[in-house]
Amino acid sequence: MLSGIVIDNMLLWIIIVGIIGLILLIAEALMPGFGIFGILGTVCVLGSTVMAGMKYGFGVFLILVAALIILALIFVRVAQTKGVYDKFVLNEVLDTKDFDESILQGMEGKKGITVTTIQPYGKIEIEGKQIDVCSEGGYIEKNKSVEIVQVKGKTVIVKEVVS
């Protein structure tokens, strides 16, 4: 017994699925990518909430939904005040001008400096020109040295050069 609640198989599954969901959501926040961890995490958290509602009643379901909303709002607020939010959201406005792809030919291997933070998209300056890029490994701070590793059409992929 845990505070008067008998831990049966259903409760155990609710807890396990909920924890897996939270871990997947944290992984999504920390790793750039397609969003599959976020989707699976959301499904797991909502699934555990629905399972709890089915097992323990609609009142428990409403309490859990309210708690999840409050926790999400607290998380966003804390992330904004601690500066964590700025590392995940691009604040600089990127210009979207028509661009001649021929400029990018032969750029692989060249080095430049980040003009904005790259998370995973941003701008670099190379040979006096600013280019919109995508990082191959996630977040790169402003004013860091980067190297162009691949050019696919208009998409330029860079990695940080560690001195």
With CA atoms as reference, report the closest residue to 45 among 73, 25, 71, 74: 25
Using a cut of 0.75, tell me whether the model's pTM lies above it: no
Per-residue pLDDT of the chain (163 residues; tens, 9 = 90+): 455 555 678 888 999 999 999 899 888 877 766 688 889 999 999 999 999 999 889 998 899 899 989 988 898 888 778 766 666 665 655 554 555 666 677 788 889 999 988 888 889 998 888 888 888 877 888 899 999 898 887 788 899 888 7
Beta strand segments in 33-161, E: 111-114, 121-126, 129-135, 145-152, 155-160
Three-state secondary structure call for residue 46: helix
Query: How far is CA 53 from each of CA 43, 87, 150, 161, rounded to the nearest angstrom?
Result: 15, 36, 49, 51
Place of tokens 């590793």: 149
